[in-house]
C-alpha cells in the first residue's frame, strides 16, 4: 500500500510540474501512454508468473495428468499474450 501511495504521489508531481508548452505538445499524453504501457506489461508478467506457478504445483501433485495441465496452461498463456498485445496497440494508437 505504501508503494502505491508513492506511485500516485510521483505521478501527481509529474503532472503538476508539467508546463503549458508540454501540455500543448501532448507531453502529458505521452506520459500517460508510458505509464499505461508499463502497467500492461507488469500485469502480463504477473499473470504469466501465476500461470507457471499454478501449472508447476498441479503437475507436482498429479503427474499423471501433466499433459492436460500443460495444454491448458499454454492455451491460457496464449490468450493472455493476445489480450496484452491488443492492450498495447490500444495504448500506442
CATH number where 14 lies: 1.20.20.10
Give the domain extent around 88.
2-92
Q: Distance (Å, rounded) from C-alpha 83 to C-alpha 43?
A: 11
In this predicted structure, the answer to whether residue 83 has a pLDDT above a threshold of 60 is yes
Helices (H), 1-93: 2-17, 20-24, 27-61, 66-92
Average pLDDT over residues 66-89: 90
> What is the tens place of the pLDDT at every residue in 2-60?
777 777 777 766 666 655 555 556 777 778 888 888 888 888 889 899 999 999 999 99
- Helices 27-61, 66-92: axis angle to 10 degrees equals 180
Match 510521483 to its residue by C-alpha cell.
10
Q: Residue 49, CB half-sphere, CA atoms under 13 Å: how many? A: 6
pTM of the model: 0.64
* pLDDT value of residue 10: 74
> What is the tens place of the pLDDT at every residue in 38-54?
888 888 889 899 999 99
- Domain tally for the chain? 1
Contacts 24+ apart (CB under 8 A), 18-24: none
Amino acid at each position: 500500500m505504501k508503494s502505491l501511495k508513492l506511485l500516485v504521489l510521483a505521478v501527481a508531481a509529474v503532472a503538476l510540474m508539467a508546463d503549458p508548452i508540454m501540455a500543448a505538445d501532448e507531453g502529458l499524453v505521452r506520459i500517460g501512454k508510458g505509464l499505461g504501457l508499463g502497467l500492461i506489461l507488469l500485469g502480463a508478467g504477473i499473470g504469466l508468473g501465476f500461470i507457471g506457478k499454478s501449472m508447476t504445483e498441479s503437475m507436482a501433485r498429479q503427474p499423471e495428468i501433466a499433459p492436460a495441465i500443460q495444454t491448458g496452461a499454454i492455451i491460457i498463456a496464449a490468450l493472455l499474450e493476445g489480450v496484452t498485445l491488443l492492450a498495447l496497440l490500444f495504448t500506442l494508437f
